[in-house]
Amino acid sequence: MSTLTLGKALNTGLRKAMEDDPKVVLMGEDIGKLGGVFRITDGLQKDFGEARVVDTPLAEAGIVGTAVGLAMRGYKPVVEIQFDGFVFPAYNQIVTQVAKIHARSRGKLPMPITIRIPFGGGIGAVEHHSESPEAYFAHTTGLKVVAVSNPADAYWMLQQAIAHPDPVVFFEPKRRYWDKAEVDLDTAPPPLFSSRVVRAGDDVTLLAYGPMVKTALQAAEAAQGEGRSLEVIDLRTLSPLDLAPVEESVRRTGRCVVVHEAQTTLGLGAEIAARVSESCFHSLEAPVLRVGGYDVTYPPSKLEEEYLPDLDRVLEAVDRSLEF
Amino acid sequence: MTAVREMVDPVPGAAAPHLPAQPDLVQLLTPEGERVEHPDYSLDVTDEELRSLYRDLALVRRWDVEATALQRQGELGIWASLQGQEAAQIGAGRALGEADMAFPTYREHGVAWTRGVDPLDVISLFRGNDLGGWDPVATRFNLYTVVIGAQCLHATGYAMGIQRDTADAAAIAFLGDGATSQGEVNEAFIWAATFDSPVVFFCQNNQYAISVPIERQSKVPLFQRAAGFGFPGVRVDGNDVLAVLAVTRAALARAREGSGPTFIEAFTYRMGAHTTSDDPTRYRLADELEEWKLRDPIARVKAYLSRSGKADAEFFAGVDAEGDELAARIRTGTLEMPDPAGTEMFDHVYAEQTEEIAAQRAAFLAYQEGFEK
């Protein structure tokens, strides 16, 4: 057991992946000498050299496009997009190439590329530094999408994503980079594409991923004080979704609330609500409710606490579900 | 790469008064079929090789004619003709070594031919049977990339892999004149330059991006742009298979020896439409095509071979007959090509299939079977 911040757990996971497989190559802006703007790659260039930890020119399409070529040559590129809002210059390469080449080649050209993206708000940043673009990628056939919420998952899921044969968009909750927890570096983890019950409960099923898992757990803690038992599930995988544990839970509770930072309309919550409504129709006591960002441009940071779902907004939705 | 003042006539109808006259065109075989020397690019080529270059040129044109006819008859969804660009493609393709990797656009049928790709595997894509019908690993010829310019970054990344493997190989990216306006292509130039990657950017300037002429893409001759990125650019007569072969060989050798990228502008002309869906009479003059017909890439090789006695009538008749056989094989193979199974679309999305798609596949099958009952 080691006590690690989420950021350090990612760093340790990257180091382990590079030790385990010489084909793993990291690429990104400022990831070498600087160690990344969040220091996730700190010390790795010093230990693995410039051929394996590449400070790239400042061009995101170039980072992802050259990763495609490296993958065709048998490498396993792990690219860092510096901030969520900067992924869009690379969007063409991700959607038209990374996601499609396996199908285009009928499996002759696998694309084992990991695209790391720090996402979400709450750090008081300027525009483009606080967004949650996961739905764009989850909507794209050919990609797999995961989001981590805690140091142990950060350590293990990053290694699993790198070893996985398909492209994985790997979302990191940047405002939780400094959260600490015990990480078991030895025990084998659950499968990458699985959701997980992180707090058992009976009254309402609360779904969250990435930075909102902590918020959901705080809400469950607060609700307990009022005699309400919330079951919290960390989705972990956004594409493919793993809804079996969710359905098992909703069949018991009859109520389901989905929480994410991304704008509510057409967010992950919409897809989950549709599926849970279909699979648990006869068990539901209330419609599946969503708590997400408002459908507005991500606001200037003085307003982000109003924009982002917090404990009170989650509890308000729980109340609405219970009163239905 | 020193300048050689071979002048190319300005292209009628595509005159660009703001552009300088076309300098620096590397040529080894004139449009009249006269063999000329160039101070920077010599080419030792045997008579046997010359005849085989002619054969390649003639056969890919025959393939192209047959494919166009098949499209007109409703057997292909669309076809992108390479007519006029045979020398650029055969010259570049024949310059490649076994270990080199080519990254085409969607028009490089001539390069496909030199890599041993079965024409029917290319046809199958345009027929709508698959998204790329050949094995890109075995042929070292990547699948066609339709999004303009995207493959230039793939070639550059692949070249970065070659560097890490310390392999004796190079990558070559094919692109058109329109693609040079894409941001990703310019990013590829920057990457290749700063990492000295073993990649050749082979641009067929066929004067048009569908309907838009080259003047809308560039204020300077394309090959001159390379200097701004810090690597050599060279303009070659793209209708001269010998010059293209020599220039591409030199660029690949330079890449393999670790001296970094080269940009080749093969100055050529798309004699046909952009694709079978296009109507070039709406944007270019018939005179222009007539002018370029005088520079036909195949006729000049035939003239040279005939005049120099390196090939006789029997040889040309043999190639013609071989062309007819190829066309017949393409026609029969196309007509007999089975439609793909409906389940194909579910089977290759991922290396590791998801439960979601597996369930949709099963539902699709059940739905289909419902009709069969």
Among A92, A102, A112, beta carbon nearest to B147: A92
**Cα R_g (chain A), whole angstroms:** 19
Q: Are residues B247 and B362 in the same domain?
A: no
Contact check, Cβ <8 Å, B161/A110: no
Among A61, A73, A101, beta carbon nearest to B161: A73
Global pTM value: 0.95
Contact check, Cβ <8 Å, A106/B154: no
Q: How far is A7 from chain B (nearest CA, A)?
A: 28
B2 found inside a domain: no
Contact check, Cβ <8 Å, B352/A166: yes
Residues 259-278 of A with CB under 8 A from B: none
Q: Are residues B163 and B293 in the same domain?
A: yes
Q: How far is B131 from chain A (nearest CA, A)?
A: 5
Which positions of A are catalytic?
129
Collect all residues with Cβ–Cβ distance below 8 Å to B33 and sequence separation of at least 6. Answer: B299, B300, B301, B302, B303, B304, B306, B307
Residues 204-243 of A with CB under 8 A from B: 240-241
By C-alpha distance, which of A319, A202, A321 is closest to A255? A321
By C-alpha distance, which of B10, B64, B47, B37 is closest to B240? B37
Please state, in angstroms and as integers, the Cα–Cα distance from residue B184 to each residue in A168, B180, B189, B212, following that order.
22, 9, 9, 20
What was the pLDDT predicted at A1? 86
User: Which residues of chain B lie closer than 8 angstroms to A75, CB-CB?
Assistant: 161, 164
What was the pLDDT predicted at B372? 74
- For chain A, the domains span 2-183, 196-323
By C-alpha distance, which of B228, B187, B196 is closest to A50? B196
- pLDDT < 50 regions, chain A: none
Please state, in angstroms and as integers, the Cα–Cα distance from residue B88 to each residue in A94, A194, B99, B175, following that order.
31, 52, 20, 12
Contact between B292 and B229 (Cβ < 8 Å): no
Q: Are residues B48 and B194 in the same domain?
A: yes
Residues paired with residue A144 on neighbouring β-strands, in sequence order: A168
Look up residue A315 and give its amino acid: L
Enter the tokens of residue B109: 């049928």
Identify the residue among B106, B165, B201, B350 best suited for mutation to test binding to A, counting A beta carbons within 10 A and taking the highest: B350
Contact check, Cβ <8 Å, A104/B132: yes
Residues 152-211 of A with CB under 8 A from B: 164-166, 193
CA angle A156, A242, A208 (to 5 degrees): 75
Q: Are residues B108 and B182 in the same domain?
A: yes
SS3 B124: helix
Contact check, Cβ <8 Å, A68/B191: no
Contact check, Cβ <8 Å, B160/A57: no
B3 found inside a domain: no
Give chain B's domain count. 2
Whole-number Å distance between alpha carbons of B303 and B32? 7
Architecture of domain A196-323: 3-Layer(aba) Sandwich (3.40)
Whole-number Å distance between alpha carbons of A293 and A295? 6
What was the pLDDT predicted at B56? 98
- At A250, which helix (H) or strand (E)? helix A244-253
Q: Are residues B40 and B148 in the same domain?
A: yes
Catalytic residue check, B274 = yes
Contact between A42 and A4 (Cβ < 8 Å): no
Tell me if A2-183 shares its fold with A196-323: yes
Count of CB atoms situated within 10 Å of the CB of A186:
6
- Tokens 């230039």 belong to B152
Count of CB atoms situated within 10 Å of the CB of B41:
20
B89 found inside a domain: yes
B318 found inside a domain: yes
B12 found inside a domain: no
Q: Are residues B359 and B328 in the same domain?
A: no
User: Which residues of chain B lie closer than 8 angstroms to A144, CB-CB?
Assistant: 350, 354
Contact check, Cβ <8 Å, A109/B137: yes
Q: Which residues of B touch A (CB under 8 A)?
A: 101, 130-132, 135-137, 142-143, 145, 147, 150, 152-165, 171, 183-184, 187-188, 190-191, 194, 347-352, 354-356
A141 touches chain B (CB under 8 A): yes
Among B154, B187, B194, beta carbon nearest to A72: B154
Please state, in angstroms and as integers, the Cα–Cα distance from residue B176 to each residue in A119, B180, B192, B214, following that order.
37, 7, 18, 10
φ, ψ of residue A146 to 5 degrees: the values are -130, 160
Please state, in angstroms and as integers, the Cα–Cα distance from residue B114 to each residue in B53, B141, B211, following that order.
10, 10, 29
User: How many Cβ pairs closer than 8 A exist between chain A and B?
Assistant: 133
Q: Is B368 exposed, middle or buried (0-12, 13-18, 19+ CB in 10 A)?
A: exposed
User: Which residues of chain A lie closer than 8 angstroms to B193, CB-CB?
Assistant: none
Q: Are residues B147 and B134 in the same domain?
A: yes
Please state, in angstroms and as integers, the Cα–Cα distance from residue B140 to each residue in A311, B99, B272, following that order.
56, 8, 28
Whole-number Å distance between alpha carbons of B6 and B9? 10
Collect all residues with Cβ–Cβ distance below 8 Å to B344 and sequence separation of at least 6. Answer: B130
Contact between B28 and B228 (Cβ < 8 Å): no
SS3 A149: coil
Q: Are residues B177 and B124 in the same domain?
A: yes
Whole-number Å distance between alpha carbons of B69 and B65? 6
pLDDT of B87-124, one tens digit each? 999 999 999 999 999 999 999 999 999 999 999 999 99
- The widest CA-to-CA distance across chain B, in whole angstroms, is 74
Look up residue B211 and give its amino acid: S
Whole-number Å distance between alpha carbons of A136 and A125? 22
Q: Are residues B372 and B321 in the same domain?
A: no
CATH of the domain at B317: 3.40.50.970
Count of CB atoms situated within 10 Å of the CB of B367:
10
B288 found inside a domain: yes
* Domain enclosing residue B322, as ranges: 25-340
Catalytic residue among B35, B154, B216, B283: B283
B48 found inside a domain: yes
Among B147, B164, B348, beta carbon nearest to A51: B164
Identify the residue among A72, A75, A109, A237 best suited for mutation to test binding to B, counting B beta carbons within 10 A and taking the highest: A72
Contact between A117 and A169 (Cβ < 8 Å): yes
Enter the tokens of residue A5: 């911040």
Enter the tokens of residue B306: 């005939």
Contact check, Cβ <8 Å, A73/B145: no
User: Which residues of chain B lie closer than 8 angstroms to A193, CB-CB?
Assistant: 354
pLDDT of B317-364, one tens digit each? 999 999 999 999 999 999 999 999 999 999 999 999 999 999 999 999
B16 found inside a domain: no
What was the pLDDT predicted at A19? 98
CATH number of A2-183: 3.40.50.970
φ, ψ of residue B288 to 5 degrees: the values are -65, -45
Mean pLDDT for each 10-residue chunk of chain B (373 residues)? 41 39 81 95 96 98 98 97 98 98 98 98 98 96 98 98 98 98 98 98 96 94 97 97 98 98 97 93 92 95 97 98 98 97 96 97 95 76
Identify the residue among B172, B187, B196, B361 best suited for mutation to test binding to A, counting A beta carbons within 10 A and taking the highest: B187
Q: Are residues B85 and B215 in the same domain?
A: yes
Q: Are residues B126 and B53 in the same domain?
A: yes
- At A122, which helix (H) or strand (E)? none
Collect all residues with Cβ–Cβ distance below 8 Å to A40 and sequence separation of at least 6. Answer: A7, A10, A11, A14, A31, A80, A116, A172, A177
